[in-house]
Amino acid sequence: MGRPTIADIAERVGVSKGAVSFALNGRPGVAEATRARILQVAKEMNWRPHSAARALGGARAEAVGLVIARPASTLGVEPFFAQLLSGLQAGLSAQSVAMHLMIVEDAEAEMEVYRDWASAHRVDGFIMVDLKVRDPRVEVLEELGVPAVVLGGPGRHGSLSSVWADDREAMLSVVDYLAALGHRRVAHVAGLPEFRHTQRRMRALRDSSRRLGLVDAVSLTTDFSDAEGAAATRALLSRRLRPTAIVYDSDVMALAGLGVAGEMGVRVPDELSVVAFDDSVLTRIAHPSITALSRDTFAYGRKLAEVMLEVVADPGRRRELKTETPRLIVRESTAPPGSWQAD
Amino acid sequence: MGRPTIADIAERVGVSKGAVSFALNGRPGVAEATRARILQVAKEMNWRPHSAARALGGARAEAVGLVIARPASTLGVEPFFAQLLSGLQAGLSAQSVAMHLMIVEDAEAEMEVYRDWASAHRVDGFIMVDLKVRDPRVEVLEELGVPAVVLGGPGRHGSLSSVWADDREAMLSVVDYLAALGHRRVAHVAGLPEFRHTQRRMRALRDSSRRLGLVDAVSLTTDFSDAEGAAATRALLSRRLRPTAIVYDSDVMALAGLGVAGEMGVRVPDELSVVAFDDSVLTRIAHPSITALSRDTFAYGRKLAEVMLEVVADPGRRRELKTETPRLIVRESTAPPGSWQAD
DNA sequence: TCCGGCAACTATAGCGGTTTAGTTCACCCC
DNA sequence: GGGGTGAACTAAACCGCTATAGTTGCCGGA
């Protein structure tokens, strides 16, 4: 005999399948004594629910889906993502909800997987990451009528719930700080231009540019790789009037930028200040250590899980949760611009 | 009406459910013309299989399980793990097999999840990581009779398949190289002592110690964190006769060690050579860049997926696949020991 | 002409649960 | 003592799909 079923239990206890089901799910309809006996036997026989059978009946799948459309080989590089995943898992595991993960080539494939998993009741909801500027995935998820939470925002994700951090506010705090130190030529090595949060950061820099009297506040977009981060830095430091401060959209790129500065003989922080979005072991370990916008990414992931579970529990609901704005952790890589500096 | 079922299709085409099932699964029993009509209608109605229903009938779940017992907050730190996951995903996605992921507190919980998912037919097989020295999980997986692949080896994983890299060989290549450079005091900042691969690396160092005339070839174990890596480095560099070379069991710890060397005024590579197990963007970006044992972790993950799929397809099978031994990539952090060095 | 055989279907029984509509039966009360 | 009531339980339908045992009808051969 394979795994025991409730029918086996029913037979052994001498009751019907229905009674066993009631007992195992803690609902009324069985006497306490019977319930106890059933639970006892179920334990003895080492019974476990068959989730597929439950799912057929329309119950929860006890799993959420996460589909990521990125070249898989680049995923491993970002500490941010792994941390987020960890936090997400922690939040879900607490409720014994598993995660269905799949990495695909592009957004088309991603939407196809959404459709598949949704109609197969494989998952109770989806988590969508890397929100783009005009993102067709939002519409697909809305159509499917499956609970979904978008990482990123605010706005432009229709009726879906979202969890986000204020990238604009974060960028402003960086620029304000740099301006206060006396920097006027601040550059920005940004991430992928189609990402919503990249746009918000770029706009924030542009906007504060006037207010703070910055000159030549430029954003160069990259694919988040250390290679492009380094290339962008080289370009910036090769200008006739080079920036006195560079803000990087990720810790990996900031570290790469630091390397380029070293290679070009530009001293950090004397001649160049460096700030990283996203804090991690990288920024702490670097020499000089890097001033970074720090947030508790693990907690961020856990919040995401929390909202996901809420939306699954009450599908009518729509939540929009703004998390703590990243705080600036000042380390060795920032200082007032050097006095040698012609302005 | 919710999602269409094969009954809906059957009704619309005017055949029985069975005929539809045959047609959709490409098996004989329907005339070509009928099949074509059925497929046509299925497409029109946007039908998709309900995996739970299929699973109930005993079919594949088209998913494999990965359960990790680590404090979730530490997961994000290791580029290795994320890379592996990416490769694994890439291999699985190619066959449209998804991954069920769960992070739990300890091995007990991990085994509980194995039992759960196995009897619920949630997954077709398991991937087990972090093989320990005497690992109770092996027995559980064998008992469950579910296909499983162990990451790590060789040996000591019973009837389960495995994919592994030769840690012994790798360690020997590092030590040989360091010895050839003239190093005689080589230390090792190792990972968790209960891990099988940690043991193998430690043993390899001890063994070559005699052969190469190393003195005081010590291994300090850590939890893989940058903090403990730094602490171990501090301890080593505080010795009266400090090592002239340190081998780290991970790139993160090597980077942390580099930081400690800087903080203690020990120049790398003049006074201290540093080598890292595991290569990543970290070792490339560091200053000085770090000599590392490099392997294609992404490919490693893909191999793992491949073996997993094979074992699922043919459960009687047992495969033991040794992957490429990591190769030493020499960078700036290694050099002959300084001449100032008393021996 | 009648029967065997095959292709093309149909009808139906599961798979392992949940759920709903009964069915018993003890008990209470007028 | 008859009827109403609620608790405890049973029987059976159902979820969507697969698999298997029929059934039908047509063709070919003796």
Task: Please check whether residues A132 and A221 belong to one and the same domain.
Answer: no
Task: Please check whether residues A248 and A186 belong to one and the same domain.
Answer: yes
What's the Å distance between residue A214 CA and nucleotide C13 C1'?
78
Six-digit token string for A267: 């001293």
Say whether the peptide bond before residue A79 is cis (omega within 30 degrees of 0): no
What's the Å distance between residue B10 CA and nucleotide D21 C1'?
20
- Decide if B55 is inside a domain: no
d(CA A42, CA A30): 15
Q: Say which amino acid occupies A85.
A: L
Q: pLDDT tens-digit profile of A122-151?
A: 899 999 999 999 999 999 999 888 899 999
Residue from the list B82, B103, B120 with its beta carbon closest to the beta carbon of A90? B103
Instruction: Give the CATH number of the domain where residue B266 resides.
Output: 3.40.50.2300
Query: Per the CB < 8 Å rule, is B98 touching A93?
Result: no
Contacts of A259 in chain B (CB under 8 A): 285, 287
What's the Å distance between residue B36 CA and nucleotide D23 C1'?
24
Contacts of B265 in chain A (CB under 8 A): none
Instruction: Tell me the pLDDT of chain A averaged across its residues.
Output: 90
Residue A270: which residues within 8 A CB-CB, separation 6 or more? A335, A338
* For A62, nearest residue in chain B (alpha carbons): B122
Shortest alpha-carbon distance between residue B201 and chain A (Å): 24
Q: What angle do CA A295, A301, A307 make, to 5 degrees?
A: 120
Task: Please check whether residues B148 and B178 belong to one and the same domain.
Answer: no
Q: Is the CB of A12 within 7 Å of strand C?
A: no
Residue A343 pLDDT level (bands cut at 50, 70, 90): very low
- Decide if B330 is inside a domain: no
Residue A342 pLDDT level (bands cut at 50, 70, 90): very low
Task: Please check whether residues B103 and B19 belong to one and the same domain.
Answer: no
Interface test with A, best of B45, B62, B78, B119 (most A CBs within 10 A): B119
Q: pLDDT tens-digit profile of A2-39?
A: 678 999 999 999 999 999 999 999 888 889 999 999 99
Closest listed residue to residue B249, CA positions, set B279, B286, B272: B279
Looking only at the bridges linking them, the beta strands covering B245-248 and B186-190 are parallel
Transcribe A57-120 into DSSP letters.
TT---SEEEEEEES-HHHHTT-HHHHHHHHHHHHHHHTTT-EEEEEEESSHHHHHHHHHHHHHT
Interface test with B, best of A93, A146, A268 (most B CBs within 10 A): A93
Task: Please check whether residues A171 and A160 belong to one and the same domain.
Answer: no
Contacts of B75 in chain A (CB under 8 A): 82-83, 85-86, 89
- Decide if A341 is inside a domain: no
Q: Which nucleotides of C are covered by protein (CB under 7 A)?
A: 7-21
Confidence check: pLDDT of A110 > 70: yes
Task: Please check whether residues A289 and A172 belong to one and the same domain.
Answer: yes
Residue B255 contacts A, CB cutoff 8 Å: yes
Nucleotide nearest the Cα atom of A54 (by C1'):
C17
Cβ-contact A290, A280 below 8 angstroms:
no
Task: Please check whether residues B283 and B314 belong to one and the same domain.
Answer: no
> Total structural domains in chain B?
3
Residue from the list B3, B82, B285 with its beta carbon closest to the beta carbon of A255? B285
Query: Per the CB < 8 Å rule, is B56 touching A49?
Result: no
Confidence check: pLDDT of A103 > 90: no
Query: Per the CB < 8 Å rule, is B280 touching A76?
Result: yes
Residue A60 contacts B, CB cutoff 8 Å: no
Task: Please check whether residues B153 and B183 belong to one and the same domain.
Answer: no
Task: Please check whether residues A131 and A217 belong to one and the same domain.
Answer: no
What's the Å distance between residue B37 CA and nucleotide C1 C1'?
38
From first to last of the 343 residues of chain B, give the pLDDT tens digit. Answer: 567 899 999 999 999 999 999 999 988 888 999 999 999 999 999 898 888 888 888 788 889 999 988 876 666 667 788 888 888 988 998 888 889 988 888 899 999 999 988 888 889 999 999 999 999 999 999 988 899 999 987 877 888 999 999 999 999 999 999 999 999 999 999 999 999 999 999 999 999 998 999 998 999 999 988 899 999 999 999 999 999 999 999 998 999 999 999 989 999 999 999 999 989 888 888 889 999 999 998 899 999 999 999 999 888 889 999 999 999 999 999 999 974 444 4
Query: Per the CB < 8 Å rule, is B76 touching A61?
Result: no
Contacts of A86 in chain B (CB under 8 A): 72-76, 103
Confidence check: pLDDT of A246 > 80: yes
Radius of gyration for chain B, computed over Cα atoms and rounded to the nearest angstrom: 26
- Decide if B54 is inside a domain: no
Contacts of A100 in chain B (CB under 8 A): 63, 98-101
Query: Per the CB < 8 Å rule, is A82 touching B99?
Result: no
- Decide if B67 is inside a domain: yes
Say what the pLDDT of residue A164 is. 94
The distance between the two most distant Cα atoms of chain B, rounded to a whole number of Å, is 92
Q: In chain B, which residues from 29 to 58 place their CB closer than 7 Å to nucleic acid strand D?
A: 47-50, 53-54, 56-57
Q: Kind and range of the H or E element at A171?
A: helix A167-181
Which of A231-245, A329-343, B10-24 is the most confident on average? A231-245
Say what the pLDDT of residue A77 is. 65
Question: What is the percentage of chain A residues whose pLDDT exceeds 90?
Answer: 65
Please, how many CA atoms are within 13 Å of residue B109, restricted to the half-sphere of its CB?
14
Q: Say which amino acid occupies B314.
A: D
Domain of B185, in residue numbers:
167-294
Residue from the list A49, A63, A256 with its beta carbon closest to the beta carbon of B285? A256
Closest listed residue to residue B255, CA positions, set A203, A30, A65, A289: A289
Residue A330: which residues within 8 A CB-CB, separation 6 or more? A177, A291
- Decide if A53 is inside a domain: no
Residue from the list B83, B103, B255 with its beta carbon closest to the beta carbon of A285? B255
- Decide if B335 is inside a domain: no
Residue from the list B63, B115, B226 with its beta carbon closest to the beta carbon of A48? B115
Task: Please check whether residues B159 and B301 belong to one and the same domain.
Answer: yes
What's the Å distance between residue B147 CA and nucleotide D20 C1'?
29
Say what the pLDDT of residue A13 is. 93
Interface test with A, best of B80, B96, B103 (most A CBs within 10 A): B103
d(CA B153, CA B146): 19
Residue from the list A74, A86, A98 with its beta carbon closest to the beta carbon of B72? A86
Six-digit token string for A257: 């930028």
Confidence check: pLDDT of A73 > 80: no
Instruction: Give the CATH number of the domain where residue B38 resides.
Output: 1.10.260.40
Residue A341 pLDDT level (bands cut at 50, 70, 90): very low
- Decide if A311 is inside a domain: yes
Task: Please check whether residues B236 and B205 belong to one and the same domain.
Answer: yes
Task: Please check whether residues A313 and A213 belong to one and the same domain.
Answer: no
Q: Is the CB of A25 within 7 Å of strand D?
A: no
Nucleotide nearest the Cα atom of B22 (by C1'):
D18
